[in-house]
Structure 1
Amino acid sequence: MPSIFTRIVNREIPCHLVDEDENFMAFLDINPLAEGHTLVITKKEIDYIFDHDDQTLSGLMLFCKKVGLKLQKAIPCLRIGIAVVGLEVPHTHVHLIPMNTMNDINFNKEKLKFSQEELAQIAKKIREQ
């Protein structure tokens, strides 16, 4: 059965797209830790990040950098935190999280709630960078 992220790649499930190329996709997390919290995924469904070949892994990090720089311009913050947890969805994904304090990247804290319209506006603001 395809992961939820593969279903997003296949356009079976909608997302708030931030950026995309032939190998990677970036979209807003629907349960964000911070405004602009973005997930970057590989389009090829592989569960564990270190199971990717070197070219894909380095491409993923370069794509994260491209998206992270846009994100930092769109959402005022001190840094873009990066986390790879990989337990919640069996499909490689990287969290890019705007942060001003160490607690901003604490996955145990309560998630923020945004309407679909607010998420669409945030995604648009990031895409326009």
Structure 2
Amino acid sequence: MATLFTRIIDGEIPGRFVWADDVAVAFTTIAPITDGHTLVVPRAEIVQLTDAPDDVLAHLMTVAATIGRAQQAAWDAPRAALLVAGFEVPHLHLHVLPAWDEASLSFANARSDVPAGDLDAAAERVRAALGDAGHGAHVPAGLGSPAL
């Protein structure tokens, strides 16, 4: 059975995509810890970090760093943070988010009541910053599509 993230990647469930390539996609989460909180997900259904081949891990980290730099630019954040937990969905994913301090990097701070328009706006800020940084080839044509 396909994971929740595979269903998002396949377009069965809507997603706010900010990145897509042959190996990975990235979309903003519906429960952000900070604005712009993005998930970097391999297209392949890999359950957890330690199951991923080294080349996939290296690619995911490169994409996460690229998105982190875009988030820092978009929100004028001093850091981009990376969290890897993976308990809520059995499909490897990296949480990348603009960060101002370590205290705010807790899933207990995730907000589930953010209006859809605000989630859309945050995703557009990430997409615009990626485009401004020269990564437009990997920014999908629309928020709801991982296809390039």
TM-score normalised per structure 1: 0.94
Query: Retained in 1: the 8 A contact 2:32–2:110?
Result: no
Deviation readout 1:33-87 (Å, 9 max, x if unpaired): 1111111101101101121111111111111111111111112211111010011
Counterpart residue type for residue 25 of structure 1: V
Quick one: distance in 2 between partners of 1:110 and 1:61? 23
Counterpart residue type for residue 60 of structure 2: L
Quick one: distance in 1 between partners of 2:75 and 2:113? 16
Which secondary structure does the structure 1 equivalent of 2:113 belong to? coil
Name the % identity: 33
Alignment match, 1:91: 91
What root-mean-square deviation, in Å, do the aligned CA atoms of Structure 1 and Structure 2 show? Answer: 1.2
Query: Retained in 2: the 8 A contact 1:34–1:98?
Result: yes
Alignment match, 2:100: 100
- Indicate whether 1:49 and 2:42 are aligned: no
Alignment match, 1:22: 22
TM superposition outliers: structure 1 runs of 4+ over 6 Å: none
1:121 to 1:44, Cα distance in 2 relative to 1, 3 A: same
TM-score normalised per structure 2: 0.82
Alignment match, 1:60: 60
Displacement of 1:113 after TM fit? 2.9
- Indicate whether 1:8 and 2:8 are aligned: yes
Which blocks of at least 5 consecutive residues in structure 2 are unaligned? 130-148
Q: How many residues align structurally?
A: 129
1:110 to 1:68, Cα distance in 2 relative to 1, 3 A: closer
1:109 to 1:125, Cα distance in 2 relative to 1, 3 A: closer
